[in-house]
Structure 1
Amino acid sequence: MDAERWWPPFVEVVAIVWIALFVVDVAITFEVLVVSESLEGTVRGALQWLFVVFLLDLVFLYRWSEKGPRGFVRSNWFLILTVVPWFRPFRLLRIGRSIRALRLLTGSRRVGSFLNKVRGKCHSLWRRLRD
């Protein structure tokens, strides 16, 4: 099937967009980012619609598998857990290529610098939230 080829990369892109919107939503909630009410509603609405893609992903994976419901759940419990979008980055841990690509990216001067800045911002935000 053609959909079996393009669907997984599409869902991974949707996951990255969802994570970015989730970060924006958290920043809006903690008033780190101030936006209009309409933009806030748009972000939350987009998060809800993107969640539907994750549910469809699970449905498609079940249909494409040749197992019954019990066998599918037993053999894909980790995959089912990653339907919840904030667990989705853990799916990348299963893929050796992604880990190798991340190592290559962090070795790059520009990307490594960017990741260090992001890490620093996350660390300072965490300290601010903790205090």
Structure 2
Amino acid sequence: MDAERWWPPFVEIVALAWIALFVVDVAISVDVLVVSDSFAVTVRAVLQWLLVVFLLDLALLYRWSDEDPRAFVRSNWFLILTVVPWFRPFRLLRIGRSVRALRLLSGSRRVGSLLNKVRGKCRNLWRRLRD
């Protein structure tokens, strides 16, 4: 299906928008950001509507999975948890798999050399930020 191809990137963009608006909402709530009342109400309304997109995402993932509900929940519990935007950063844990793959690739000279350069740059940047 065509929707199966464009839907996941769309949801990721919506997730980034939700996170940005959530930060704005928190800043408004703690008086770090001063805006008009109508703007604050609009931000909260958009946040609520974006939650509908995340629920629709879960429904579509179930529809496309060809599993019964119990099997879908058992096999996708982590994905279901991360549908709630507050838990979306946990999707970064999937990066752990990629890091393991990079470690295997680091055995080759070219990839190992590149990873060492990136690691060195990150260390320098971290030291600058700490000081």
Query: Which deviations, in whole Å up to 9, do the C-alpha atoms of 1:15-49 show, x marking residues without a partner?
Result: 01100100100010011111000110110011001
Deviates more, 1:50-59 or 1:83-92: 83-92
- Structure 1, unmatched stretches of 5+, are 120-131
Matched, 1:26 2:38: no
Structure having the higher Rg: 2
Instruction: Report % sequence identity.
Output: 72
Residue in 1 aligned with 2:73?
Answer: 73
**Distance in 2, Cα, partners of 1:25 & 1:97:** 33
Q: How does 1:79-94 map to 2 (within 5 A)?
A: 79-94=79-94
TM-score (norm 2): 0.73
SS of the residue aligned with 1:88?
helix
Q: How does 1:1-131 map to 2 (within 5 A)?
A: 1-95=1-95, 107=121
TM-score (norm 1): 0.73
SS of the residue aligned with 1:31?
coil
> 1:97 Cα deviation (Å)?
5.8
**Distance in 2, Cα, partners of 1:57 & 1:42:** 23
SS of the residue aligned with 2:90?
helix
**Distance in 2, Cα, partners of 1:64 & 1:91:** 20
> 1:76 Cα deviation (Å)?
0.3
Q: Which runs of 4+ in 1 moved over 3 A?
A: 95-98
Residue in 1 aligned with 2:111?
Answer: none
SS of the residue aligned with 2:66?
coil
* Root mean square deviation of aligned Cα: 2.4
